[in-house]
Structures are given as C-alpha cells and as structure tokens.
Amino acid sequence: MKKYLVLLFSLVLAAALLTGCGEDKPAAAPATTPPAAQTPAPTQTPPPAQPPAPTETPATTEAPAAETPAASAEIIGHIKVGTTSGSDVEILEKVIAVAKSKGLEVELIEFSDYVIPNTALAAKEIDLNSFQHIQFLEDFVAEKGTKLISIGNTYISPIGFFSNKIKSLDELKDGDTVVIPNDGSNGARSLILLAKAGFITLKPEAGLNATVFDITENRLNLKIVEVEASQTPAARDDAAIVAINNNFAQGVGLNPLTDSIYLESFDSPYVNVIAARPEDKDNPLYLKFVESYQSQEVADFIIERFKGATVPVFDYEKK
C-alpha cells in the first residue's frame, strides 16, 4: 500500500510539472530591429507619346506703344494763319502739331477764295497766310497796292488740265471750250501751259503776266472762259478741258499726277509761300511758324500724303 501511495504521489507531481511547462505562452521573440519600411517607388506614369503643346500665352510683347505725342512745350504764343480749302488745310494741320511741340499755338482760319486771305492779312485780322504762290502774291500787291511779303517757301504744286469729256489734248476739236482761273497769275499760268501744248501762241513779252489779249494765234479757235479758281472743278462737265489749281483739284479727290491730261512741270516759278506784313518779317512767333513748316516732319508728310503731286521746296532730308 505504501508503494502505491508513493507511486501515486510521483504521478501527481509529474503531471504538475508537465502542466507548468506546457503553458500557452509564446516564447519571447528575440529583440530584433524591424527592417525599415521601404518607401514604395513612385508610380511612373508613362509620358504621352506627344506631350500636349503648352497653351500659347501671347508673349507679353508690348505692341509698339502708339506714338505718344511729345509733351507740349511751354506755350510761347498764339497766332492766326489763313488758308484756302483743299490740300493746304491738311498740310497746315500737320504744321500746327509741329508748332505746338515748339510751344506755338496756331489757329487756322479757312477761306473759300484766293483774295480774302490777303485782304484779311493786310487788315490784321490774321497774322500770316499760307495758300498762294509767289507770282500770285506779287500780282496781288501790284494790283491792290497792299504791302505783303513772303517770309518762307513751302511747296510747289503744278497746275494741270482736267476733263470729264476727253482723255487727251489730241482730242480737242475746233471751237471747244477751255476754262481757266480768272486771277491774273493762275490765268497766265494756264495760258502758258496751253501755249506749251501747242494750241495757242502768246506775245513773247507777256511772260508770266499773259492774258487772253496776248494770244496771237489760236489754232483750234478755242473758247477760253475765265472763272473763279475755286469754281474750276465744277466746270469739268461743261468744258472740254479745265485748268485746276492743285489744292482745288485734290480738294475734290483728283490727283494731278494721275488724273490730269496735261500737267505743268515741277520746275515752274510758281513756288508757294508764307505771307506776312513787312513790319512783321522778324517777328519771333512768325519765324517759329516758318521753322515748323520747314521741318522734316512736314516734308515727310507732304511726300507721303501727296505721292509726288506736291513737293516741298525747303531744305529737308530726302529719304
């Protein structure tokens, strides 16, 4: 019995020992540093076959800034200048802009004929005028006894014959009507042109003062009618040919170079001028106006605008 008790005690003890060793506890893992987490490589999206072109933002190429007019100089004075309608107005508007940059304010007074600008100048209603050629001015002074002088040359514009009826002077017929300006200098100028074309003969001594009374031969018995210069463009529907001054021709859209059927040469003595009263020939404001007119800017404008039908006759750089 004692043996059995010892055996039982041994069995119980063995069972206890086995239970202690068989606990469901995981063995402690050795302390190892976990491997650093690997950053996943960036997903590389394959580039498109042809990357889209970037939207073109217009380069901030600054468009050439509109020419800012030069700041006006300090005003040194104000003058009134008379002229006649047509191309003279366009030219003088450019002169006015140049004069303003030099501090001179110019008021333009427009007249409808060739007489009033001179009478207004003599009466001191205006300070200067710019519309006439030197021969007209000299004739006006001689006829009216008015004292006016030229203080500067401007341009030359040939007078020409225009027609709504024929294409060439060769088409003139016996007894046809020819209209010319009724003032002495432009009337003479037209007659000299007609004589140069071979249709009339003038007394040699008549020169630049020729009139219809100086005609010694009229080959086609042409009827020569004189009208006020500003009215000559309107006569084209009635007469075979009409002599029209450049400014009035351009005033109705005619280009003397391309629309006339016979044109005066540019070496004629009919140079246009700026007129003043003799006592004002040295007036600094008036000389500033002459300087403005005879500027490169005005020369460039005349050449570009009138395409050779009007030519500056003062010093400028030819381009």
Structure confidence by residue, pLDDT tens digits, 1-29: 444 433 434 443 444 433 444 444 333 44
pLDDT of residue 311: 95
132/94 Cα distance (integer angstroms): 18
Identical fold, 77-158+269-312 and 160-263: yes
DSSP strands (E only) in the chain: 77-84, 104-111, 128-133, 149-156, 160-162, 177-181, 200-202, 215-218, 223-227, 241-244, 262-263, 271-276, 311-312
Lowest-confidence segment of 50-59, 85-94, 225-234 by average pLDDT:
50-59
Are residues 151 and 275 in contact, defined by beta-carbon separation less than 8 angstroms? yes
Nearest to 220 by CA among 173, 186, 183, 278: 173
pLDDT of residue 58: 37
Q: Average pLDDT over the chain, rounded to whole?
A: 84
For helices 296-306 and 87-101, angle between their N-to-C axes, nearest 10 degrees: 150
pLDDT of residue 246: 92
Structure confidence by residue, pLDDT tens digits, 33-85: 434 434 344 444 444 444 444 333 333 333 333 343 445 579 999 999 999 98
pLDDT of residue 65: 39
pTM: 0.74
Superfamily grouping for domain 77-158+269-312: Periplasmic binding protein-like II (3.40.190.10)
Residue 262, both tokens? 């016979």
Residues 152-167, buried b or exposed e (16+ Cβ, 10 A)? bbbbbbbbbbbbeeee
Q: What is the dihedral of CA 290, 296, 301, 303, to 10 degrees?
A: 110
What mean pLDDT comes out for the span 286-302?
A: 98
What mean pLDDT comes out for the span 282-302?
A: 98
pLDDT of residue 30: 39
Domain ranges of the chain: 77-158+269-312, 160-263
pLDDT of residue 295: 98
pLDDT of residue 71: 52
Residue 100, both tokens? 């303003």
pLDDT of residue 145: 93
Percent of the chain with pLDDT over 90: 73
Residue 177 has pLDDT above 70, yes or no: yes
How many residues are given for the chain? 319
Structure confidence by residue, pLDDT tens digits, 150-166: 999 999 999 999 999 99
Residue 258 has pLDDT above 50, yes or no: yes
Residue 126 has pLDDT above 80, yes or no: yes
Q: Give me the CATH topology for the region 160-263.
A: D-Maltodextrin-Binding Protein; domain 2 (3.40.190)
Residue 199 has pLDDT above 60, yes or no: yes
pLDDT of residue 73: 76
Question: 319 pLDDT band (50/70/90 cuts)?
Answer: confident
pLDDT of residue 158: 93
